[in-house]
Amino acid sequence: MQVLLLVDIQNDFVPGGALAVPDGDQVISVANALIPRFELVVATKDWHPADHGSFARQHPNHKIGDVIDLHGLQQILWPDHCIQNTAGAEFVETLDTDDIDRVFFKGTDADIDSYSGIFDNGRRKATGLGEYLRESGIRDVYVMGLATDYCVKFTVLDALDLGFHVHVIEDGCRGVDLKPGDSARAIEEMRKEGAYIVRSDQIARRGRVGPSQPEV
Ligand code: VGL
Ligand code: ZN
């Protein structure tokens, strides 16, 4: 059993948003093309309280991009983004959300960030996604979304850790690239840790996903 996992395809991560990922909007058509090919579709949402500790605004002596110690963990400071129940935290309007079966929320604790959709950055709390995938009888997890070098990467590494076969849909991901090359390095790291790096057109052509895909 396979799942399509859509990571953080939210308004604040696409151009015009508070933490815009360059070309982040280009993943939407990839997602919309893939959603009908999967029996199970799950999404994550970055879902922060307004005073989240990852926001530079909460640390008056620091600025966006600084790295601080946040309760014992290294934390990059971001602009305010994906605040719970705000427009910035909504799915991008053009994403076909009707067939998303479940949404998992992360970054809800002001004291700790959660790049991964599975565990927080301290691996203290789980979002429930890992258990849900296990209980759903999933072996293969197809991951795409935003951002390659943060939430996609850490979600993929946690999913590998839990023993899933993880496929990263490369053309369905875009990165922040605070440092040039971060996304490319993230892809290499995921590959090194055991993820399969695939393109969305391979999924369609190979017919590996969903019932009775024609072999070409
Ligand atoms: C993300 C930075 C901060 C992401 C979330 O979704 O990749 N990046 N919060
Ligand atoms: Zn965040």
CATH number of residue 93's parent domain: 3.40.50.850
Q: Rounded distance, CA 50 to CA 52, Å? A: 6
Residue 64 lies in a domain: no
Residue 215 lies in a domain: no
- Any atom of ligand 1 within 6 Å of the Cβ of 83: no
Q: Helix, strand, or coil here: 109?
A: coil
Confidence (pTM): 0.94
Question: Per residue in 161-215, pLDDT tens?
Answer: 999 999 999 999 999 999 999 999 999 999 999 999 999 999 865 444 555 555 4
Question: Per residue in 86-127, pLDDT tens?
Answer: 999 999 999 999 999 999 999 999 999 999 999 999 999 999
Residue 151 lies in a domain: yes
Yes or no: say if 216 and 205 are a contact pair by the CB < 8 Å rule: yes
Residue 59 lies in a domain: no
Rounded to the nearest angstrom, the distance between the alpha carbon of 88 and the centre of ligand 1 is: 13
Rounded to the nearest angstrom, the distance between the alpha carbon of 2 and the centre of ligand 1 is: 25
Q: What's the pLDDT score for residue 106?
A: 98
Q: What's the pLDDT score for residue 209?
A: 54
Taking CA atoms only, the protein residue closest to ligand 1 atom 4 is 151
Residue 61 lies in a domain: no
**pLDDT at position 34 over 70:** yes
Ligand 2 (ion): which residues have CB within 5 A?
46, 107
Q: What's the pLDDT score for residue 4?
A: 98
Closest by Cα among 175, 150, 172, 174 to 41: 172
Q: What's the pLDDT score for residue 193?
A: 98
**pLDDT at position 7 over 90:** yes
Q: What's the pLDDT score for residue 214?
A: 52
The number of domains in the chain is 1
Residue 127 lies in a domain: yes
Region 150-157: what's the mean pLDDT?
98
The DSSP output letter for 10 is B
**pLDDT at position 49 over 90:** yes
Residue among 8, 12, 80, 158 flagged as catalytic: 8
Closest by Cα among 7, 54, 2 to 30: 7
Residue among 12, 25, 82, 106 flagged as catalytic: 106
- Any atom of ligand 1 within 6 Å of the Cβ of 186: no
Residue 185 lies in a domain: yes
Residue 72 lies in a domain: no
Query: In this structure, what token pair is assigned to residue 57?
Result: 């605004």
Mean pLDDT, the chain, integer = 95
| Pocket residue to mutate for ligand 1, from 150, 154, 173, most atoms within 8 A of Cβ | 150
Rounded to the nearest angstrom, the distance between the alpha carbon of 135 and the centre of ligand 1 is: 27
- Give me the domain span that covers residue 181: 2-50+81-204
Instruction: Answer yes or no: 63 catalytic.
Output: no
Instruction: Answer yes or no: 8 catalytic.
Output: yes
- Any atom of ligand 1 within 6 Å of the Cβ of 120: no
